């Protein structure tokens, strides 16, 4: 596999039957078998490995098409991520945030997750600065991931692999929003 570095998020075109892209740690980052060609998909900034021939095309930003619900609360948001404190501690909820203290508690099992899964969880927790409802925090996380250049299939997989089977309704909301073209 050859190394590629994407300096800024972008949309790429591929005409191959199997798209297989690994992250810099060699983990599967994006695997897809398109049914129609040419196939386009977004990629966030980063270093990757692939044998696919990828061509950068005009960027499509699906995050612009998402309107988040009105904020339910107005908490003071940290200006920089460095203002957040993180603790790796056993957490049956996988992750939690104390917004008033800017303190995020992450279960050690979360460290083993893929980057899209970790980002979904962290963006979801950050959504609690604005929302009480879990579903609205999911929508916030989804928009942030699209803004970074992740694909709907990656976001759906992150949600599917991080939310428990008890969270079927939340999973369905996100899946259906992509299926119905509401990114």
- CATH at 73: 3.30.2010
Instruction: Give the separation between CA 150 and CA 153, rounded to whole angstroms.
Output: 8
Q: Do 99 and 150 sit in the same domain of this protein?
A: yes
Q: Which two tokens stand for residue 99?
A: 């917004």
Q: Do 45 and 112 sit in the same domain of this protein?
A: no
Domain end residue (candidates: 60, 75, 94): 60
Lowest-confidence region among 9-13, 72-76, 131-135: 72-76
- Would the pLDDT of 165 be above 70? yes
Q: Do 71 and 136 sit in the same domain of this protein?
A: yes
| pLDDT-based confidence at residue 130 (cuts at 50, 70, 90) | very high
Q: For the chain, what is the domain count?
A: 2
Across the chain, what does the average pLDDT equal? 90
- Would the pLDDT of 183 be above 70? no
- Give the burial class of 128: count Cβ atoms within 10 A of its Cβ; 0-12 exposed, 13-18 middle, 19 or more buried: buried
Q: For residue 142, how many other CB atoms are within 10 A of its CB?
A: 29
Q: What is the pLDDT of residue 146?
A: 93
Instruction: Give the separation between CA 72 and CA 139, rounded to whole angstroms.
Output: 14
Per the structure, the complete domain to which residue 49 belongs is given by 2-60
- Would the pLDDT of 18 be above 60? yes
- Would the pLDDT of 42 be above 80? yes
Mean pLDDT calculated for residue range 12-40: 93
Which residue, among 31, 39, 34, 40, has the nearest Cα to 17 in the 3D structure? Answer: 34
Q: What is the pLDDT of residue 181?
A: 57
Mean pLDDT calculated for residue range 10-34: 93
Instruction: Give the separation between CA 88 and CA 69, rounded to whole angstroms.
Output: 31
Q: What is the pLDDT of residue 21?
A: 97
Phi, psi for 43 (deg, rounded to 5)? -135, 135
Mean pLDDT calculated for residue range 6-16: 94
Q: Do 44 and 127 sit in the same domain of this protein?
A: no
């Amino acid at each position: 596999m050859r190394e590629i570095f994407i300096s800024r998020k972008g949309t790429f075109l591929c005409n191959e039957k199997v798209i297989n892209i690994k992250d810099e740690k060699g983990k599967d980052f994006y695997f897809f078998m398109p049914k129609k060609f040419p196939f386009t998909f977004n990629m966030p900034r980063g270093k990757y490995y692939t044998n696919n021939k990828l061509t950068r095309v005009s960027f499509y930003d699906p995050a612009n098409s998402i309107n988040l619900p009105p904020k339910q609360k107005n908490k003071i948001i940290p200006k920089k991520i460095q203002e957040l404190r993180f603790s790796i501690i056993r957490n049956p909820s996988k992750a939690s945030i104390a917004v008033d203290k800017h303190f995020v508690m992450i279960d050690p099992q979360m460290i083993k997750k893929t980057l899209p899964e970790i980002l979904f969880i962290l963006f979801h927790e950050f959504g609690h600065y604005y929302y009480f409802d879990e579903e609205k925090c999911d929508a916030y996380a989804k928009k942030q991931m699209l803004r970074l250049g992740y694909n709907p299939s990656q976001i759906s997989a992150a949600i599917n692999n991080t939310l428990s089977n008890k969270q079927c309704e939340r999973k369905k909301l996100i899946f259906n929003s992509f299926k119905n073209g509401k990114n």
